[in-house]
Amino acid sequence: MLGLMMQTPLLISSLIAHADRQHGDTPIVSRRVEDPQGPLHRTTWREVHRRSRQLANALAHLGVNRGDRVATLAWNTHRHLELYYAVSGSGAVCHTINPRLFEEQIAWILEDAGAEVVFFDASFADIAARLVARVPRVRHYIQLSERAELPNDFPAQLHAYEDLVHSHSEHFTWPQLEETAASGLCYTSGTTGNPKGVLYSHRSTVLHAYACALPDSFGVSARDVVMPVVPMYHVNAWGLPYIAALTGASLVLPGPLQDGPALHRLIVDEGVTLSNGVPTVWLGLLQHIAGKSEGLGRLRKLVIGGSACPPSMMDAFAQRGVEVLHAWGMTELSPIGVVNAPKADNATLDPTATAVRRNKQGRPLPGVELAILDEDDSPLPHDGASFGELVVRSPWAVRQYFGRAPGDGFTADGWFRTGDVATIDPAGYMQITDRAKDVIKSGGEWISSIELENILSAHPAVLEAAAIAVPHPKWDERPLMAVVLKPGTTLERNEMHAHFSGKVARWWIPEDLAIIAAIPHTATGKIDKRRLRDQFSEHRWPT
Ligand code: AMP
């Protein structure tokens, strides 16, 4: 027997329509790409909805049909937000591309995705111009600006976004699509091999937004002022543009400026209450406010993930009254899988057990199932000690990569293989030991690079630390710490050994350290361990 409830599809357009109806006057604030240091652009959910409808008419005029991929190379701005709603809402696929990738990769992705329309910010006009010859399939280029700001020498016909919007009617009825229709397309960062496309649906996006908004997830409400620092070109800024519309929160969009001073100004001036980002970004903010009396305004929560958040960072923010929500996820998971929120029994834990739990990545959102598998794909116990390959199932997890054969990257019974190595404890908290390719294998045993980094990051002289495996004649591999020091400090090998002593097994203690000027990061802000491993592959161990 079927239930007798309405079959209203879960659609992205319903999020913006709701934000307009219930929170129409709520501010949407954005830095302007034309003048990032200048006055902010101020609009509302009602205006975003109105302009999205105009843009939807413009897309139809350009010949964009349902299912067509519409690419964006853009910062977090109000215009990118309008594209999110106009493109997906009208039934096309919003295909965000990371402009920090190499140009060959961008071209490859556009080809693989079959995109025929590209919207780009003026700061990426040079990249777009060079794509013209490389990707002939693209029919339309649109710069996200007024006509007066268009470059003179663009090698193809170029539209101005504002012309497109203004020349079309705001009367547009969002189509009643199937909720399983494709809505967005993101590519994995492709650190090994070519990037792979993850094709989100309206249903997966809306369910992910509902789950992320919950009190034990990000906990977002209509009283929040939310600033996505995670780029809208990286897994939809972890869903915040959708979560904000769902909850009626205000949005502050930082545009092209992600440095500590610029973020600090927005946080204080705009009363930001919640933000998100990778640890590196927050390192910049902490450095900027170190020793300053000025606080962090109304900021109360930071969702930090993308790579492991060092406990020392959680402490630094806690001292300033900001709660860090450690989160784990990946492009294939829309991206959020777990968030570290306390459970009722936290009140009964002693301080050590509380710290151990807090430093884990977190527990699954409702809708996410996790398991860890051994080398034969047999499930391992959730005892907090056994570690194995983390696999996941969820309505917002990938089922098959775009344009790839089914089964690639999945277990025989359909769980997605994350490529991460993890433990799960009896309370359900998952802890990432490492990305499988980053674990350090010493004398046949595994050493967690993340744990070594977490420990050394707490040393007062250390700004940032990365642990990598370096070949060793006796033990196959041994850990080497690549370290960036705070200005005016030093760190000797003996001091490092003393710092680790008693915190990890003796054989885990890194053999050596290399002081470097900067840790290399990938296009998505993670520590680029492959580059570090290449750099130190010939490292001479001390005798
Ligand atoms: P991406 O698809 O680019 O978002 O990368 C996903 C990968 O980032 C995951 O598979 C993890 O290896 C890593 N990652 C994400 N969040 C965390 C976290 N909180 N701690 C450790 N690693 C993380």
Q: What is the pLDDT of residues 4-50, one digit of tens each?
A: 999 999 999 999 999 999 999 999 999 999 999 999 999 999 999 99
Among all chains, which residue has been given the structure tokens 């430093």? 359
Please say if 474 is a catalytic residue: no
Q: Which residues pair with 364 in a beta bridge?
A: 338
The pLDDT-based confidence of 191 (bands split at 50, 70, 90) is low
Whether 190 has a pLDDT exceeding 70, the answer reads: no
pLDDT for 325 equals 98
Ligand 1 neighbourhood includes 254 CB (under 6 angstroms): no
Please say if 332 is a catalytic residue: yes
Looking at every residue in the chain, the average pLDDT score rounds to: 96
The pLDDT-based confidence of 444 (bands split at 50, 70, 90) is confident
Instruction: From 307, 326, 336, give the residue whose CB has the most ligand 1 atoms within 8 Å, as the site to mutate.
Output: 307
Ligand 1 neighbourhood includes 331 CB (under 6 angstroms): yes
The pLDDT-based confidence of 396 (bands split at 50, 70, 90) is very high
pLDDT for 398 equals 98
CB contact at 8 A, 478 and 441? no
- 383-to-356, 387, 432 alpha-carbon distances in Å: 14, 9, 14
Q: What is the pLDDT of residues 271-281, one digit of tens each?
A: 999 999 999 99
pLDDT for 324 equals 98
Q: How far is the CA of 235 from the centre of ligand 1 (A)?
A: 12
Average pLDDT of the segment spanning 360-389: 97
pLDDT for 430 equals 98
pLDDT for 416 equals 97
Average pLDDT of the segment spanning 443-469: 94
Average pLDDT of the segment spanning 263-277: 98
Please say if 47 is a catalytic residue: no
Q: Is 373 exposed, middle or buried (0-12, 13-18, 19+ CB in 10 A)?
A: middle
What is the full DSSP assignment across 89-129? Answer: HTT-EEEE--TTS-HHHHHHHHHHHT--EEEE-GGGHHHHH
pLDDT for 532 equals 96
DSSP state of 350: -
- Residue length of the chain: 543
Please pick, among 162, 280, 446, 526, the residue that the annotation labels catalytic: 446
Please say if 192 is a catalytic residue: no
Q: Is the dihedral of CA 241, 243, 248, 250 positive or negative?
A: negative
Average pLDDT of the segment spanning 234-239: 97
Ligand 1 atom closest to the Cα of residue 189 is 3
Average pLDDT of the segment spanning 229-239: 97
Whether 503 has a pLDDT exceeding 80, the answer reads: yes
The pLDDT-based confidence of 192 (bands split at 50, 70, 90) is low
Domains contained in the chain, CATH given: 12-302 (3.40.50.12780), 368-436 (2.30.38.10), 440-535 (3.30.300.30)
In the chain, the amino acid numbered 506 is R
Q: What is the pLDDT of residues 108-150, one digit of tens each?
A: 999 999 999 999 999 999 999 999 999 999 999 999 999 999 9
Ligand 1 neighbourhood includes 77 CB (under 6 angstroms): no
Helix H or strand E encompassing 318: helix 311-318
